[in-house]
Structure 1
Amino acid sequence: MITSNINITKPTYLEIEFSHFKKEKENSTGKEELSENEEKRVQELKKIDREVRTHEQAHLAAAGGLARGGATFTYTKGPDGKRYATGGEVNIEISPVEGNPKETIRRMQQVRKAALAPANPSSQDRSVAAQASREEAKARAELSNPKNQEDEKVKSGILSIYNKEYKESQFSVTA
């Protein structure tokens, strides 16, 4: 009698069915084809990816120099193994310009424009726009304060005198 250490077992019905199913799913390139539901999910993820990237690009374009770096994305892995952007953000400088209400007003207008730039602003986008509007209102109130108006006149007068003296010094001839 000859014995062997190798156990040969018959594949079960489930194993046969599974291997047959896997072969059916393979396409001509050797990659597995996606089920109908998986293909729908991939198409949905592609659409979301395009929308997210377009949304964040709108923020970047409107933010100009206030953007702090590029857009960052959160990703979801699809049934096809690829990563799709499903969320994103753009960091924008939203602090008021200390001691310069006019510049603060300009900055807050640009922040609001950047926040509302996408076709469908998110609730976070609307919140940032509202915050920018509040900061702009504070800057306008500061600017309308009589003391600040006087300070602005003084600054403007000093700048005018400086510019006049500078221009004169450019054209004066010394003997």
Structure 2
Amino acid sequence: MQIGNFSFYSQDNFNAWKEKTHISQDLETNSFSQDDSSIQTTEDNQEKQEEDKNTQIVNGKELETDEVQYVRELESIDRNVKAHEAAHIAAGAGVVSGGASYGYTRGPDGKMYATSGEVPISMKKGKTPEETIQNARQIVAAAMAPADPSPQDYKVAASAMQMESQARTEQAQEQAQKNEETFKKQEEQEQQDQEKPFFDDSKRQYALQTYTQNQTSYQPKIEIAG
């Protein structure tokens, strides 16, 4: 099972948005076009100067304002995704079974940004109900460690809590069985004590009493030869 953040920003979505924006701008420009060639030339020069002002160099590439904004957004997502997965790993000692893996999106600057991620986690039971309960609690802690748990994180935590509930049921059944075995042994011992012959005790008491009386009444006789 995986725990992780599945938010994803697609370059295709950005390109579609950008194309739509440019088409809208082109329609607006065409609706206000002038027949005077001198006026048109002046406007073209002004637009070019305006475009030059609105571009920035990011990671060695010249980007427009909207592209720069998109890169900044990707940078923020990249940081959040990696922090999210790091939180899972830090809190999942003993249950996290590997490192984080990421899905990437290429930005307008040509750089790859992490926009999704996941961490493998083991949902195995322990050898005893007590071990299973401990594992389940560790899984919940790992799944809910990030500041912004994803829907998948909540799903993993719910599965772990169900596993703990089942382990507690098994624990109660085992304890009930132990109590029953102990009670049965006590009953058997009491039954044996009740079936023990009474005359055996009487004989022992009679023998002890007789021996004691003989010891106290016995007086040695001393005869002197003359």
Q: Smaller-chain TM-score range?
A: 0.5 to 0.7
1:63–1:110 contact (8 Å) kept in structure 2: yes
Alignment of 1:78-93 (within 5 A): 78-93=107-122
> Equivalents in 2 of 1:113, 1:147: separation in Å?
27
1:135 and 1:58, CA in 2 relative to 1: closer, same or farther beyond 3 A?
A: same
Query: Is 2:81 the partner of 1:52?
Result: yes
Aligned residues: 130
Structure whose CA Rg is larger: 2
TM-score, L = length of structure 1: 0.67
Cα RMSD between the aligned structures?
2.8
1:89-120 Cα shifts (integer Å, max 9, x gaps)? 000111222x4111000000000000000001
Give the 3-state SS of the residue equivalent to 2:63 in structure 1. Answer: coil
Comparing 139-148 with 44-53, greater Cα deviation is found at 139-148
Partner amino acid for 1:47? S
Match of 1:33?
62
Match of 2:42?
none
1:24-73 Cα shifts (integer Å, max 9, x gaps)? 5696xxx4311000000000000000100000000000001221111000
1:139-160 Cα shifts (integer Å, max 9, x gaps)? 0010011467629x99xxxxxx
For structure 1, the residue ranges without an aligned partner over 5 or more in a row are 1-16, 155-175
> Equivalents in 2 of 1:26, 1:116: separation in Å?
40
Query: Is 2:135 the partner of 1:107?
Result: yes
For structure 2, the residue ranges without an aligned partner over 5 or more in a row are 1-44, 183-226
Match of 2:158?
130
> Equivalents in 2 of 1:87, 1:67: separation in Å?
18
Identity of aligned residues (%): 44
> Equivalents in 2 of 1:111, 1:124: separation in Å?
13
